[in-house]
Amino acid sequence: MAQDDSIYYRQGLPVPETPEPGRDAGFWETTDIVGKRVARVDGYERLSGAAVYPSDIKLPNMIYGAILRCPHPHARVKKLNTAPARKMPGVRALISGDAPESGGLQWKYDDYAAPLFDPHCRFEGEVLAAVAADTRYQAWDAVRAIKVEYEVLPYVSDHDQALDDKAPRVHESGNLVGSDEYIRGDADKGLSRADAVVEQTYQTPCELHTPMELHGCVANWDGDRLTIWESSQGVYAVQSRISEVLEMPLSKVRVIGHYMGGGFGSKLQPGKYTVLAALLARKAARPVKMILTREETYLCVGNRPANTMRLKAGARKDGTLTGLDFACTGPSGAYPAGGTSLVDWQIRDLYQCDNVRCSSRDVYIHAGPARPFRAPGHPQGSWALEQMMDDLAEKIGMDPVELRLKNIPEVSQARGNIPYTTTGLRQCIEKGAEQFGWKAAVKKAREHNRSNRAVKRGVGMGACVWIVGGGGPPATVAIKLFRDGSVNLNMGASDIGTGTKTVMALVAAEELGIRPEVIQIEHADTGTTQYATPSGGSKTVPTESPTVRNAAIDVKRQVLEMAAEDLDVPAADLVYQGAEVVSGSNSEKRIRVTEVSRLKKRGVVMGVGYRGPNPEGKSVNPFGAQFCELEVNIGTGEVSILRFLGAHDSGRVLDRLTYDNQVFGGIVMGIGLGLTEFRQLDAKQTGKLCNRNWHDYKLPTALDVPADMVSLPIEIDDPEANNTGAKGLGEPVTIPTAAAIANALYMATSVRFTRAPVNPIEIRRHL
Amino acid sequence: MAQDDSIYYRQGLPVPETPEPGRDAGFWETTDIVGKRVARVDGYERLSGAAVYPSDIKLPNMIYGAILRCPHPHARVKKLNTAPARKMPGVRALISGDAPESGGLQWKYDDYAAPLFDPHCRFEGEVLAAVAADTRYQAWDAVRAIKVEYEVLPYVSDHDQALDDKAPRVHESGNLVGSDEYIRGDADKGLSRADAVVEQTYQTPCELHTPMELHGCVANWDGDRLTIWESSQGVYAVQSRISEVLEMPLSKVRVIGHYMGGGFGSKLQPGKYTVLAALLARKAARPVKMILTREETYLCVGNRPANTMRLKAGARKDGTLTGLDFACTGPSGAYPAGGTSLVDWQIRDLYQCDNVRCSSRDVYIHAGPARPFRAPGHPQGSWALEQMMDDLAEKIGMDPVELRLKNIPEVSQARGNIPYTTTGLRQCIEKGAEQFGWKAAVKKAREHNRSNRAVKRGVGMGACVWIVGGGGPPATVAIKLFRDGSVNLNMGASDIGTGTKTVMALVAAEELGIRPEVIQIEHADTGTTQYATPSGGSKTVPTESPTVRNAAIDVKRQVLEMAAEDLDVPAADLVYQGAEVVSGSNSEKRIRVTEVSRLKKRGVVMGVGYRGPNPEGKSVNPFGAQFCELEVNIGTGEVSILRFLGAHDSGRVLDRLTYDNQVFGGIVMGIGLGLTEFRQLDAKQTGKLCNRNWHDYKLPTALDVPADMVSLPIEIDDPEANNTGAKGLGEPVTIPTAAAIANALYMATSVRFTRAPVNPIEIRRHL
């Protein structure tokens, strides 16, 4: 073994004392390696192609699955003839609603249980049968050989029309999934006291999840045990769902995640495809690989629902918000799936306002069900609120930055006025505006617009709060310290591309004083790793980083106890000092960690860390503000974003490199919402999806993204949040982007673009 | 999930109270499922072919390795020309001593460090180069294309000749590896006081390890991390050795064991082939599969060394042993490897005797180094001692069973007379003889022999003690209880075919009251499982079973703490009762385990168990006695074993089915030593191995094994040994077999066969 000191990066520097056993670790006052720019620990694997994603899995005798999906948004299956498909070459297994394998199996949407194979198809892409064959092509050929007779039924595609009496019903109970109302103070009264009132209707598009890696899995049975390699954000969530659907003990469903190519919320849960793969694998007694096509993912793995929002807001001349009245409609799709979830949160909680009313109506339409999409609801609400703040500012003649600073809340109003552990909203706006050069940029843009008629310029901003982001229990992490000082870190959390492995290696390295390179991470495997909730809600870092730290501290505690035997001093007198354990009272009493007798004999010390509780009566939330400068070609409607700055308060930065990349990635996704992305259903003719691929569904490309993007972390010590002081970052960074762009577009064009995305067609429509 | 009660096998029956946190579990007084005949938990996988052994591993882009080995027992490489091999089709990597990849790498035999590629070859099969190519055949073709010029040197094959002055030297220091002497009392004086003295020279053959699965591995690199799938008895031992040879941090070497097809001691460590696979994989940037041929394993993965033993023993007329004088010579092979290890242990410690002298000389010969072979040294010593006990019995006119019972020790004399926790030697002999019908069988055989001249009959017995078998720390086990009551058990120990997984599932099932079927086991993986020492020394069950139990108890403790919150009673008042947690003081206060709020919320409870210390000042050892009845065809020399009985004291039987199978397997292996197996070196002409395959190296087959084999467990409560009361079984069961056969042969033929194996040639030589 490499027993030399090179494992330790912290040669001879003292580290903070280890806390008492059983107590939670204290807050990190200072750090050595945490917060630095450290490249990903798995960068080599990712870049070299050595990293094995579920789509890369190859097992001996593996065969391939394909799914027959209903081509109509609403239809009833009259006849399903699978006989021709069964005779196709290479076919090893076929399942459909009639087959005994699927008899009675159910699939749940929220609490709504539907048959796994439902002959009443309520959206284009509904599952009717599945085939496994020796090759992908044979599987698809067999799927095409299945003969189906449909009774095609009338459909409704538009959520604004879904509640019309004449609209076709998605479910017998009607098209209202549910409605919700939130009231604080008296919005009408508040608005009546305002000096300025504005009212507007805003629309955001349905966005489709487009992770680089397609949804899918490989399923394999060993006797009564099912192993699934799933492209997933949370292996335990997949395990739980699959064990429920297949009525198996949890221990017998092993789900392995490891590398995965993005999910953005759509991979928090498995899909029907996962169950189909498992059933086909059992029937064929072969491993089955089931990777969806991009078209299939666009039809059935979720979306950010389109929303129609009416917002009325009032302010006094001094900028004080007096009332907010918000109403929202949005579609869950064909099954309950949160069509208006969290859309009103920005309105409820971002700015100080005593009088707020938010109402929402979630409706069914004949389209694929929604799923959480990075910061669910928030960018939509932000699109409305942050544009209206600018409208109000204009109406009362105040700078938009000033108006926002005027309304910084001290507490979480929507949570009964409980305080935040920390709130950096003011600093995000102030320091962001300062570094962006807000005032100068506004001035410069106005000057530019006076002299240039073809290309107009604008600057705009938006702020945000994210509803959660403090993480919390449960989480368990185990760390094995080998006798040469190297470390194995075992956690259940997925690294969904955000750098979780890298960040956690830094946390363990910081606490143990070792180089992150000698930490090997095992993660995201229900069979072999510890428990973690899915990576979503921007909670992975604030949940797992304190847990990793606690596990590392548990390792240190045990090593100190062992070293105490060698040095014949109480463990409490000992501290970790780089590669050595040293007595605090007599620095001549010291021993190298790798020489500690019991560690050498045991071979390994294992420490376990649990995530401690969150602070009671306080809320842990990240905040942010983004600033945008852009140009619009009035002739073509083309928008060029010149620069973007994201100032985010997400507590302590653990790895600056992945932190900045999150900020940049969130902005890019926000540009998609603001300028390019929308799901187009052929509402009039067929109800079918029009843009079914990367050509027709417009994601922002490198040409749409500014070269000048700045990440400005607003770091505020947050010892109450948790022992590392980190808060979530992944979602807040995409909340205010689109609204900031819209505000800049307003400055450039004097047109208030209320309907996203503001693509050249939309711009030309107004100009 | 399957949340029904079917997970629990123990419906409503009370279970013992959970011990206080932090304390070790008390001794199991009674058990419900432990001790039953339970089929292997992985039986389906093993029988269906679903089980993946290292030789079954297939990785994308995997290539195959082959090794160039020296064909001479002693030679110096004058010239090694690899150029022709590099041009052979399919070759992806080639390494030899000259290559920078191997520069300075060393391989250690005990403390003797030799170059990984040593141009001075001291045994047939020494490694000279290795190739990886697209197919096995291409790899072998390339190996054959390497041109080598050897200076062939004189060799010594026979350990009895190795110390002659004229014998060629294996090492410059001479051919003596080392010598050892053990003295207790005064052997000469003791012998002089005897009424009867016998002296004899015994010889045992060199046996070759012949596990079903060949030795080998698959090696794969991900950046700086090496993963090895090795057919191994101990993944952490492989990790340690490989990290040492390749100078890598332990965390960066992941070794996976899982299924393996037997080792018998030869897979306690990796081989040079493991390092070669790793080096080739790194060079080719591809996974490399390196599975040895049977011929290669016979040359280089170890053996049970041949031994020449002189034993002189004396007894008084009443049977009291007065002195034992033992001398042994044996070969380590070409490098230090314990050529006489533990051969004298039976003489030192099996029977009460105040005057014992044992001396041993371990010598070098030009042949592959020895390795531990099931009960190292013990069957050899038993071959001498147990035959001599029969000779003594004859000489003083006493029944062999009686003579042995006369000399049962109360303490471990070789350990300074410390007591055993329990010793069942007397019961093994008495109850074994009783169930075997010893006296009647002796009488019947003698009668038979008077009337039948062609086929003679004999009965014989042998007893044994195994030097260790109590297990001990370190060991760590983690158990995850899922919220539906099913369980994941994580341990580092290998299941070397003995049923470790089954036994540990029973232990966890017993403690948690659940059906073993819902326990999923993860094991033998340095990356993802807990720490365990290699499976050898018959210590896996006594080491791991208490550890598993402690982990299960840790789970229960946590569940009780959680249930206490729901029931609002102190955790100390609660007991596990099947699927429920119930208050001891108020049986109406009860909650289903699956309904415990915090468990439901957490999803998983993880318990950790450590192996507690062994009792101080006491020795934990298994004992046994075996009884054999056989027939010999005087004309052909053919031996038919009619029946065998093994009476073994290995403490509590955890699974009766795998227990019995161990007994039967040990007897079969002992039959090999006694009757069929020996390594034949061509000592006169070439020094090369003559029997290089399963045709020429004679393992016992089904025809050599009696249909009538009986396992008689001698179960004695052993609460001091550990909390399950189990002692080792795997090795004692093969110790006395060969001697029992020899004793039966003596009764049948009146010839004392001192040289094993007693095959028809040997028999015809004497008759």
Three-state SS across B573-634? HEEEECCEEEECCCCCCEEEHHHCHHHHHHCEEEEEEECCCCCCCCECCCEEEEEEEEEEEC
A741 band by pLDDT with thresholds 50, 70 and 90: very high
What is the tally of structural domains in chain A? 3
Cβ A243–B1 below 8 Å, yes or no? yes
The verdict on A22 touching B (C-beta cutoff 8 Å) is no
**CA distance readout (Å), A579 to A11, A226, A487, A489, A575:** 7, 43, 13, 19, 11
The percentage of residues in chain B with a pLDDT greater than 90, rounded to a whole number, is 91
Q: Name which of B234-243, B304-313, B509-518 the model is least confident about.
A: B509-518
Q: Which of B610, B632, B649 is the last residue of a domain?
A: B610
Q: Is residue A387 part of a domain?
A: yes
φ/ψ of residue B749, rounded to 5: -115, -10
**CA distance readout (Å), B399 to B155, B444, B463, B749:** 47, 15, 14, 18
Q: What is the pLDDT of residue A577?
A: 82
Residue A59, domain extent: 55-153+210-300
Nearest alpha carbon to residue B732 among B385, B319, B201, B376 = B376
Q: Is residue B390 part of a domain?
A: yes
pTM for the model stands at: 0.94
Q: How close, in Å, is residue A407 to chain B by CA atoms?
A: 37
Q: What is the pLDDT of residue B2?
A: 40
User: Which residues from chain B sit within 8 angstroms of residue A478, using beta carbons?
Assistant: 478, 606
Q: How close, in Å, is residue A157 to chain B by CA atoms?
A: 35
Answer yes or no: do B465 and B475 share one domain: no
Answer yes or no: do A646 and A664 share one domain: yes
Rama region for A333: left / alpha / beta (φ>0; ψ in -120 to 50; rest): left
The verdict on A49 touching B (C-beta cutoff 8 Å) is no
Q: Is residue A553 part of a domain?
A: yes
What is the C-alpha separation between B392 and B94, in angstroms, rounded?
Answer: 60
Q: Is residue B184 part of a domain?
A: no
Structural contact between residues B253 and B244, judged by C-beta atoms closer than 8 angstroms: no
Q: Is residue B39 part of a domain?
A: no
What is the C-alpha separation between B622 and B649, in angstroms, rounded?
Answer: 6
CATH number for the domain that contains residue B519: 3.30.365.10
The verdict on A434 touching B (C-beta cutoff 8 Å) is no
Q: What is the pLDDT of residue A10?
A: 52
User: Which residues from chain A sit within 8 angstroms of residue B235, using beta carbons?
Assistant: none
Answer yes or no: do B661 and B691 share one domain: yes
Q: Are strands B356-364 and B321-333 parallel, antiparallel or unpaired?
A: parallel
Q: How close, in Å, is residue A535 to chain B by CA atoms?
A: 15
Cβ A602–B474 below 8 Å, yes or no? yes
Q: Is residue B722 part of a domain?
A: yes
3-state secondary structure B334-370: CCCCCCCCCCCHHHHHCCCCCCEEEEEEEEECCCCCC
User: Average pLDDT in the B380-399 region?
Assistant: 98
Binning chain B into helix, strand and coil, the percentages to the nearest 5 are 30, 25, 45
Q: Name which of A153-167, B93-107, B736-750 the model is least confident about.
A: B93-107
For residues B69-99, one letter each, b for 16 or more C-beta atoms within 10 angstroms of the residue's C-beta and e for the rest, the string is bbbbbbbebeebebeebeebebbbbbbbbeb
Cβ-Cβ pairs closer than 8 A, A with B, add up to: 160
Place of tokens 């242990």: B345
Q: Which of A268, A300, A332 is the last residue of a domain?
A: A300
Answer yes or no: do A401 and A412 share one domain: yes
User: Which residues from chain B sit within 8 angstroms of residue A224, using beta carbons?
Assistant: 44, 517
Name residue A652's amino acid. R
Q: Is residue B192 part of a domain?
A: no
DSSP assignment of A291-352 equals: E--HHHHHHHS-EE--EEEEEEEEE-TTS-EEEEEEEEEEEEESS-S-TTTTTTHHHHHTS-
**CA distance readout (Å), A616 to A420, A533, A619:** 11, 21, 8
Answer yes or no: do A218 and A286 share one domain: yes
A18 band by pLDDT with thresholds 50, 70 and 90: low
Answer yes or no: do B310 and B374 share one domain: yes
Binning chain A into helix, strand and coil, the percentages to the nearest 5 are 30, 25, 45
The verdict on A62 touching B (C-beta cutoff 8 Å) is no
Strand order in the sheet with B639-649: B455-465, B623-633, B639-649, B708-713
- In three-state secondary structure terms, A109 is strand
Q: How close, in Å, is residue A475 to chain B by CA atoms?
A: 8
B9 band by pLDDT with thresholds 50, 70 and 90: low
Q: Which residues does B704 contact at the CB level (< 8 Å), separation at least 6? A: B641, B671, B675, B676
Q: State chain B's mean pLDDT as an integer.
A: 94
Q: Hey, what are B733's tokens?
A: 């069961």
Q: What is the pLDDT of residue B8?
A: 60
A579 band by pLDDT with thresholds 50, 70 and 90: confident
Out of A51, A240, A602, whose CB is closest to B531?
A602
The percentage of residues in chain A with a pLDDT greater than 90, rounded to a whole number, is 91
Q: Which of B251, B266, B300 is the last residue of a domain?
A: B300
The verdict on A4 touching B (C-beta cutoff 8 Å) is no
Cβ B251–A487 below 8 Å, yes or no? yes
Place of tokens 């101080």: B616
Q: Are strands B708-713 and B639-649 parallel, antiparallel or unpaired?
A: parallel
Q: For B406-463, what is each residue's pLDDT tens digit?
A: 999 999 999 999 999 999 999 999 999 999 999 999 999 999 999 988 999 999 999 9
Cα-Cα end-to-end distance for chain A = 71
| Residue A200 burial by Cβ neighbours in a 10 Å radius (0-12, 13-18, 19+) | middle
User: Average pLDDT in the B200-228 region?
Assistant: 96
User: Which residues from chain B sit within 8 angstroms of residue A603, using beta carbons?
Assistant: 236, 240, 474, 531, 533
Q: What is the pLDDT of residue B169?
A: 97
Window 536-595 of B, Cβ < 8 Å to A: none
| Residue B181 burial by Cβ neighbours in a 10 Å radius (0-12, 13-18, 19+) | exposed
Q: For A397-440, what is each residue's pLDDT tens digit?
A: 999 999 999 999 999 999 999 999 999 999 999 999 999 999 99
Q: For B722-749, what is each residue's pLDDT tens digit?
A: 999 999 999 999 999 999 999 999 999 9
- For chain B, give the number of residues: 767
Find which of A239, A481, A482, A501 to mutate to test the B interface (most B CBs within 10 Å of its CB).
Answer: A482
For residues A682-713, one letter each, b for 16 or more C-beta atoms within 10 angstroms of the residue's C-beta and e for the rest, the string is ebeebbbbebbeeeebbebeeebebeebbbbb
Nearest alpha carbon to residue A507 among A722, A697, A267, A357 = A722
Answer yes or no: do B462 and B383 share one domain: yes
B26 band by pLDDT with thresholds 50, 70 and 90: confident
Q: Is residue A216 part of a domain?
A: yes
ipTM rounded to 2 decimals: 0.90
φ/ψ of residue A393, rounded to 5: -60, -45
Answer yes or no: do A464 and A492 share one domain: no
Q: What is the pLDDT of residue B13?
A: 45
Q: What is the pLDDT of residue B576?
A: 86
Q: Which residues does B614 contact at the CB level (< 8 Å), separation at least 6? A: B470, B471, B472, B473, B620, B721, B722
Answer yes or no: do B111 and B25 share one domain: no
Q: State chain A's mean pLDDT as an integer.
A: 94
The verdict on B614 touching A (C-beta cutoff 8 Å) is no
Q: For B43-80, what is each residue's pLDDT tens digit?
A: 999 998 889 999 999 999 999 999 999 999 999 999 99
Structural contact between residues A26 and B268, judged by C-beta atoms closer than 8 angstroms: no
Answer yes or no: do B139 and B269 share one domain: yes
Q: How close, in Å, is residue B308 to chain A by CA atoms?
A: 36
For residues B750-767, one letter each, b for 16 or more C-beta atoms within 10 angstroms of the residue's C-beta and e for the rest, the string is ebbbbbbbbbeebbeeee
- Of all residues in chain B, the one with the smallest CA distance to A238 is B1
CB count, 10 Å around CB of B417? 11
What is the C-alpha separation between A386 and A737, in angstroms, rounded?
Answer: 10
Q: Hey, what are B545's tokens?
A: 């079973």
Q: For A46-95, what is each residue's pLDDT tens digit?
A: 998 889 999 999 999 999 999 999 999 999 999 999 999 999 999 999 99
Cβ B485–A240 below 8 Å, yes or no? no
Cβ B476–A604 below 8 Å, yes or no? yes
Task: Quote the distance between the C-alpha of residue B619 and its chain's center.
Answer: 20
Answer yes or no: do B392 and B457 share one domain: yes
Answer yes or no: do B401 and B434 share one domain: yes
Residue B540 has pLDDT above 60, yes or no: yes
Nearest alpha carbon to residue B495 among B283, B262, B296, B319 = B262
Q: Hey, what are B421's tokens?
A: 């926790």
